[in-house]
Amino acid sequence: MCGRTACNLKCETYCKATSYKDRKDTLYRQPEWHNEMNDNFEFKQSNNTAPTDVTPILVSGEEFVGYPSRILTPMVWGMIPPWHKGNFNNHGLSTNNCRIENITTSKLYSEPLTKGRRCIIVCEGFYEWKTTEGPGKKKPYFIYMPQKNGVSVYDTNAWESAQWSEQYGWCGPSLLQLAGIYNKWKSSDGEDVYSYSIITMESSKTFSQLHHRIPAVLENEQLIEDWLDTRRVSASQAISMLRPTDNLTWYEVSSIVNNSRNKSVDCNKPISKIVNKSSTFMTSWLSGKNKNSDNNDEDQMRKKPKK
């Protein structure tokens, strides 16, 4: 599953890091950043992004008249049911993840899938909690794409200072790109709000060491192109090409990430790289160690338990 991500880069960096070649092009191009579809929902950089937060989403511009081939736009994490009335974040359902096993029959997900509302969630990585010895004890880990030798995925400067050119494209660290679906919800004020869910599946043998569920990772440009090309690739074809990946790596991080209110730069650092561990522990303790923010149970159309 996926209940927390790191999205701590500038908008323009995400555009560079998701650059691509069109079929007829010899040079790389960047998706354009478009904020106007969710005017009142601004993306804010964070190493500890949680459901109901706003994150960068890659979509096909063909779904939006006049837009280029691919665009990046902010969307709310956790699909808002179209029948919901009230505030966008109080519909009472956990929809940050969508099970691939039920996607074609789900009341919430089947319609946007059929309508070609496929998207890609871009991030530096996501967090998962591994159960350890003892009741209720879990260790958080940061999961990300394998990087070139010497590149630290948590080093923001490595991302922001990386080179981009039309000839060679993006020369920086590798983003994690996850398959998802999105939908449009209309508020009582008549405002259109775009929101999304991440598709999950049974884990690969390797990743099952951490968790029995894994997000659907789009590992290469061909998968990315096919997932976004809803006119050429049907919904059934797109779903059938998703497989649990073994091409991920991870390390243990501090428990400060357990609380989604903690936005420290230390959230996605290996424990060994945190300079002042006592200060980090104190921050976690003062924040109340919010256990509810672990979000480690599968989130498919299930009511959240009352506190």
Catalytic sites, residue numbers: 2, 128
Three-state secondary structure of the chain: CCCCEEECCCHHHHHHHCCECCCCCCCCECCEECCHHHCCCCCCCEEEECCCCEEEEEEEHHHCCCCCCEEEEEEEECCCCCCCCCCCCCCCEECCEEECCCCCCCCCCHHHHHCCCEEEEEECEEEEEEECCCCCCEEEEEEECCCCCCCCCCCHHHHHCCCEECCCEECCCCCEEEEEEEEEEECCCCCEEEEEEEEEEECCCCHHHCCCEEECECCCHHHHHHHHCCCCCCHHHHHHCCCCCCCCEEEEECHHHHCCCCCCCCCCCEHHHCCCHHHHHHHHHHCCCCHHHHCCCCCCCEECCCC
